[in-house]
Every structure is written in structure tokens, then in C-alpha cells.
Amino acid sequence: MKTIYILWLRQVKKYFRSPSRIIGSLGQPLLFMLALGYGFGSVFQQAGQGNYLEFLVPGIVAMSILFTALFSGIEIIWDRQFGFLKETLVAPVSRFEIMIGRSLGGATVAVLQGAIVLLISLFFGFTIHNYSLLLLSLVFMFMVALLFTALGTAIASLLEDMQGFQLIMNFLVMPIFFLSGALFPLQGLPKAIDVITRINPLTYGVDGLRGTLAGLAQISLTTDFIVLAVIIVVLNALGAYLFSKIQI
């Protein structure tokens, strides 16, 4: 447990020591919120779908968590190249504990980033539908963060250079985001797109956040929770296995 705590604390401290990283990570979510939230707001309303900003913000929060969580995996490659990972792996502790500590730290940082985006959205006009569900929304944020941190760890465990990791992340991130229902309703989609959104794990995270923050769930909170929980277990098991196979 001490190892997990130390690695978790290291990740969180690194986040707070980099204000430029925090500010830089807000650029894209704020651009999406401004350009899409206000740009397509009238079109969305004319289509009879209500306030687009209320619909959009949970998806933007999920996007912020997705980006931060997935790219936390690059720190494994960074630490490998600069020798810190070797020092950690040769320590008399379980590699599983090391992986869990890093994953929890990365997930915590991703949730903090998502919480900042949510807070800023309130100044843009977003209204939390039911404050009694705010704690549950934080649970969904942490589940999304833990899921994609585990995925980032699994991918980073297979690679040795940051360029390769960034190429794979760029190939994964945008399709996962755009095909999650973060920007559009899930009803009435073409069959192929509908199938993709249903197998996309971020879809259930976005829907969980949309249900708890805006009262606009399109699936159900129970289904969202169960699907996310199952995928988290699978990806963390995969991430732990691949991390344990890292050669030093």
C-alpha cells in the first residue's frame, strides 16, 4: 500500500507543479465549448433538442479526462528512457502495486482536469441539473479516467519510444471521442455508426456524465456503470500483465 501511495502522490504532485500543463490542457476543451456550444446551439434548438450547451458540456468533460488519462501512459516511456522506471522496477515491491499506483495517480490527475473544465463550464452558462447526483458524476469521471489510464499504460508497456506512442494515441483518441455521442445524440444514427458507438467504452462514460450532470442520459445510469466497471477490470488486468512483462 505504501508503494501505491508514493506513486500516486508523485503523479499528483507533478501535476500541481506544472501550471503550464494545466492551462495548456484547457485550450482544446474551451475551444470546443465555445465554437460548438455557441456555434451549433441555435441549430440544435431548432431541431427540437433543447439547449446544446447542456448537452455538450458532459462530453467535453469526458474528452478532457480521456486525453489526460491516455497520455499519462507516456510517462512510462519517459521514465524508461531516463532510468527512473528501472529504479522502480528493481525495487523489492510488486510490479502490480507499481502499476496500480501509477494508474490511480494518472486517473486522479485526469479527474482533476475534468473537474476544472466542469467548473469553467458554469461560467459559460452550463447548469448542473441535480446537485444530489454530483458525487455520482465524480464516480463516473473517475471510472472513465481509470479505464483510459489503464489503456494508456497497456499501450505504453509495449512501446519504447514516445513518437510511436503519440502516433498510436492520435490514431485512437479522436475516433474514440467523436464516436462516443459526446457531440451528437445516439438516436437515429446510421447502423454502422450506431454499432461503433455501442462498443466504444467512452459512450457509457459520456452518457453517465450526461445523466448525472444534465439529466439527459440516453442509455441508463445502471447500464453505464456496469459496462464501465467490466471494461475497467479487463483493461487493468491487461495493463498489469503487459506492465509486468516490461524488460529493463
* Residue pLDDT, tens place only, 77-125: 776 666 566 666 666 667 777 778 888 888 899 999 999 999 999 988 8
Query: 57-71, 75-89, 127-141: lowest mean pLDDT where?
Result: 75-89
pLDDT band at 143 (very low <50, low <70, confident <90, very high): very high
| Residue 184, helix vs strand vs coil | coil
Q: How large a percentage of the chain has pLDDT more than 70?
A: 86
pLDDT band at 31 (very low <50, low <70, confident <90, very high): confident
Give the per-residue pLDDT at 48: 54
- Cell matching residue 100: 496500480
Name the residue ranges covered by the structural domains of the chain.
2-244
- Cell matching residue 158: 509495449
| Residue 222, helix vs strand vs coil | helix
pLDDT band at 71 (very low <50, low <70, confident <90, very high): confident
Q: Is the dihedral of CA 160, 166, 168, 169 positive or negative?
A: positive
Q: How large a percentage of the chain has pLDDT more than 90?
A: 31
Contact 143, 206 (CB under 8 A): no
* Residue pLDDT, tens place only, 153-182: 888 878 777 777 777 777 888 899 999 988
Beta-carbon contacts of residue 26 (< 8 Å; ≥ 6 apart): 64, 116, 117, 120
